Structure 1
Amino acid sequence: MATEEQLEAAARWGRVGVGLAAPGTSADVWRRELARLEDLAYGSAWINEGIGRGETFSQLGLLLAATRRLVMGTGIANIWARQAPVMQAGAETLAAAFPGRLALGLGVSARVLVEASGLSYGRPLEEMAGYLDRMDASRGLAITPAVPFPRLLAALGPKMLELARDRADGAYPHSMPFENTVLARTALGPDKLLVVGVAVFLDDDVDRARSLAAQSSLFKIPSSPYLANLRRLGYTDDDFAPEPSARVIDAMFACGRAEAIAARVGEHLKAGADHVVLQPMGADLTTLVDQLEAISGHLPA
């Protein structure tokens, strides 16, 4: 169960956060755009980590130091990028320096990406369970934060959700329909945190937005865990080939005008999410924050 302090911290996040993927962005641009975000109706900002394409704790340190109130989280901190005691120590250090402002999301990534970096993928559920064991064994060796950070698992399927329920403070599924949010809440129970990520394709022309969404890399990953989970939810090969159907695109992503994006947030909150993270897809950080500013005024209170 998440601790009382963690639940209180999560309550301060509000209902909606943002996901930001902007590789190659300078520190000065990050500082400028995060200052803009702090004036908007978002409570958190989340980043992801790919091996060799950024290092999550140095990035989190920059973002936390550049902001006053935003919670900073990892959509995933990649468990293959560092040993478990190092992950625990890095999170404890930042949580102690910025009380109540860190959320650590852990993920196993995808086999093809891990093996491309020269590592052995193993069995994801067993690898994650063992990694959590080693994190727990090193807890408090670096420093003990006054406010413990919540530990979330990037869980899509039922077994990883069970592990999130039993060994973490909650889960952070991404790019899934609201039906999956209902199932995730049921699997986790009422006392765990459920953060839901939504990829956003903002465009006044919904067909153009869907066309962009259809190019998502999630459809191209060999043995994609996203497609496997969608099949568990009742989607079929007809929804994925020869091209992703409008049905599956609308289920996975939020496409169209700002009002439609805000409506998708409401669907996930009603389905049981505690916090919804909107991740606009675009070329540069300034464009992403422009989109989030356009959406901000339409979000549910």
Structure 2
Amino acid sequence: MTGRWGLTVPLEGLSLPEHRELVTQLPDLGYTDLWSAEANGADAFTPLVLASQWAPELRLGTAIAPVYTRGPGLLAMSAASAADCAPGRFVLGVGTSSQVIVENWNAAEFTEPYARTRDTVRFLRTALAGEKVTAEYPTFTVRGFRLGRPPETPPPVMVAALRPGMLRMAGRESDGAITNWLAASDVPAVRGELGADAELVARIFVCPVDDADEARALARRHICAYLTVPVYRAFHDWLGRGERLAPMQEAWAAGDRKRAVELVPDDVVDELVVHGSPDACREGVRAYAEAGVTTPVLMPLTTGGDPAGLVRALAPE
């Protein structure tokens, strides 16, 4: 049994206010954490601020707030406000996001992602401590910024990391790493680069469906959407899946999306997505913890139905 059991919010099919009834139940169900996601739906902070008032027992974290889509000062302000709502229970997770989200959707330049993330972490540590920041970082300059409402308890800062360089930087500069789309068998390689003592948060895709073909069909679409993105493609090249994923990626690049989905191998789906009965899913999630994940964070994949019911079914026993 892992000591932590997290959930990704918001859930598909529920408005933000509709999460209240479920969130209030999560501590009694055994959940310890809520971690947000940010792409083109809810922002990373609002769901957590709401949850901070509904379930004061839960730890809350952004996974992740991109370092490009908010200026350094605004990112510090957002984190300070969340930390004010959940003193000692908020974790600021930051990362690069992706070129599509940063450039195509937010009109920002996706340049020097390693350095920009490192510099943002350094700025945030100083700013969230309530200090005045005047500094020329390699990727941006801040002059005379000081939080008007610094958090009484500065939140931990974690870094979204996939490959060795970013993982090592996360272990060196921050309080840990947040990762995504990996198998339990991949955790030792990730942990080896991060270091033994840093926290490792992993979002784990879970499909509580007994029919393996149905689960795989759903999972393939998500795998195509993510593992064709350059950073995830490079991640899985490093993890050793490049050859098995190449036909899918080539079809995707050629514009044949339907064929790309069909070309995701069954064994890759089974490695990257936990599926089966709720009991089987719980065991699959625990395998990540046994391999070295500090905080497993469930991301339910569903074909509809009652999302709250799935969350209850996936609670630790």
* TM-score normalised per structure 2: 0.81
2:202 and 2:177 map into 1 onto residues whose CA distance is 8
Q: CA 1:103–1:136 in 2, change beyond 3 Å: closer, same or farther? A: closer
Q: CA 1:188–1:221 in 2, change beyond 3 Å: closer, same or farther? A: closer
1:24 and 1:89 map into 2 onto residues whose CA distance is 30
Which residue pairs with 2:108 in the alignment?
119
Which residue pairs with 1:296 in the alignment?
315
Which residue pairs with 1:95 in the alignment?
83
RMSD: 2.3
2:219 and 2:38 map into 1 onto residues whose CA distance is 21
User: Which ranges in structure 1 are unaligned for 5 or more consecutive residues?
Assistant: 1-12
1:178 and 1:291 map into 2 onto residues whose CA distance is 22
Q: CA 1:220–1:183 in 2, change beyond 3 Å: closer, same or farther? A: closer
Which residue pairs with 2:296 in the alignment?
276
User: Which ranges in structure 2 are unaligned for 5 or more consecutive residues?
Assistant: 131-145, 249-262
Which residue pairs with 1:244 in the alignment?
264
1:297 and 1:190 map into 2 onto residues whose CA distance is 25
Which AA in structure 1 matches 2:308?
V
Q: Deviations over 1:215-269 (max 9, x none)?
A: 1155456543223211111113334524111111112111221122112222111
Which AA in structure 2 matches 1:262?
R
Q: Secondary structure at the match of 1:38?
A: helix
Query: What is the aligned counterpart of 1:210 among 213, 216, 228?
Result: 216
1:114 and 1:222 map into 2 onto residues whose CA distance is 16
1:260 and 1:24 map into 2 onto residues whose CA distance is 24
2:226 and 2:176 map into 1 onto residues whose CA distance is 28
Which residue pairs with 1:46 in the alignment?
35
Q: Which has the larger radius of gyration?
A: 2
1:133 is the counterpart of 2:153: no
2:236 and 2:16 map into 1 onto residues whose CA distance is 37
Query: What is the aligned counterpart of 2:174 among 168, 178, 182?
Result: 168
Q: Which has the higher contact order (CA 8 A, sep 6+)?
A: 1
Is the CA contact (8 Å cut-off) linking 1:94 and 1:102 kept in structure 2? yes
Q: CA 1:184–1:221 in 2, change beyond 3 Å: closer, same or farther? A: closer
Is the CA contact (8 Å cut-off) linking 1:177 and 1:252 kept in structure 2? yes
Q: CA 1:236–1:58 in 2, change beyond 3 Å: closer, same or farther? A: closer
Which residue pairs with 1:182 in the alignment?
188
1:113 and 1:219 map into 2 onto residues whose CA distance is 13
1:128 offset after TM fit, Å? 1.0
Q: Deviations over 1:190-213 (max 9, x none)?
A: 221111110111101122111110
1:146 offset after TM fit, Å? 4.0
* TM-score normalised per structure 1: 0.85
1:65 and 1:297 map into 2 onto residues whose CA distance is 23
1:65 is the counterpart of 2:53: yes
Q: CA 1:221–1:115 in 2, change beyond 3 Å: closer, same or farther? A: farther
* Identity score, percent: 27
1:57 and 1:137 map into 2 onto residues whose CA distance is 21
2:60 and 2:201 map into 1 onto residues whose CA distance is 13
Query: What is the aligned counterpart of 2:280 among 250, 255, 260?
Result: 260
Q: Secondary structure at the match of 2:103?
A: helix
Q: CA 1:145–1:194 in 2, change beyond 3 Å: closer, same or farther? A: same
Is the CA contact (8 Å cut-off) linking 2:36 and 2:62 kept in structure 1? yes
Q: Secondary structure at the match of 1:54?
A: coil
2:50 and 2:156 map into 1 onto residues whose CA distance is 20
Q: Secondary structure at the match of 1:254?
A: strand
Which AA in structure 1 matches 2:38?
E
Q: Deviations over 1:42-73 (max 9, x none)?
A: 101111112x5333223321121122211111
Which AA in structure 2 matches 1:290?
G
1:189 and 1:281 map into 2 onto residues whose CA distance is 30
Which residue pairs with 1:10 in the alignment?
none
Q: CA 1:218–1:165 in 2, change beyond 3 Å: closer, same or farther? A: farther
Is the CA contact (8 Å cut-off) linking 2:4 and 2:33 kept in structure 1? no
Is the CA contact (8 Å cut-off) linking 2:69 and 2:102 kept in structure 1? no
Q: Secondary structure at the match of 2:296?
A: strand
